[in-house]
Amino acid sequence: MSAVRTKCRHCGGKLISEEGVLKCLSCGREQLSKRQARLYYESHKDEICADYQKMGRAATMAKWGMAAATLYSILKKEQIPLKRGSYHSSAPSHNGVLPPLPAYSNEWPLEVQIKWLETYQAIFTLEKQEGVKHA
């Protein structure tokens, strides 16, 4: 017997069952089982590979809602050459400036408020330790 997921695998938001389909209340994404996701990506592998070659890694992952490991395994299986530096970078480049956070809102779900505060604290710590500026 498998456990029923209660949190979105993409953003951690709460899931709701709508007409038999799990959807995230925060990001709105449908939640597929691992088997469903594998079959879906397998049936669209040619489109995914074409998108990777045209748009790059990040845009392809965002468009198809997939993890880097999933994209990597599809590209490897289809023998698509990886773009230089697109998978094994040691740290994200931020050029010393982080993007701005959205303005805090008490209207957000509690989980989002907590994540916002944790992110704010992490940025504050990063600014102190490494001199990184927040836009």
Tens of pLDDT, residue by residue over 44-64, are: 999 999 999 998 888 888 888
The predicted structure's pLDDT at residue 79: 92
The label of the residue with tokens 């836009």 reads: 135
The predicted structure's pLDDT at residue 63: 86
Q: In a structure prediction context, what are the per-residue pLDDT tens digits for the chain, which is 135 residues long?
A: 445 567 887 778 888 887 778 888 888 878 877 888 889 899 999 999 999 999 888 888 888 888 888 999 999 999 988 876 555 444 555 555 666 778 888 888 898 889 888 888 887 777 766 655 555
The predicted structure's pLDDT at residue 93: 54
The predicted structure's pLDDT at residue 129: 66
Q: Which amino acid is at 101?
A: L
Closest CA to 60 of 18, 78, 25: 78
Query: Distance (Å, rounded) from C-alpha 87 to C-alpha 4?
Result: 31
- The model's pTM is 0.50
The predicted structure's pLDDT at residue 130: 61
Query: Distance (Å, rounded) from C-alpha 100 to C-alpha 96?
Result: 13
Size of the chain, expressed as the number of residues it contains: 135
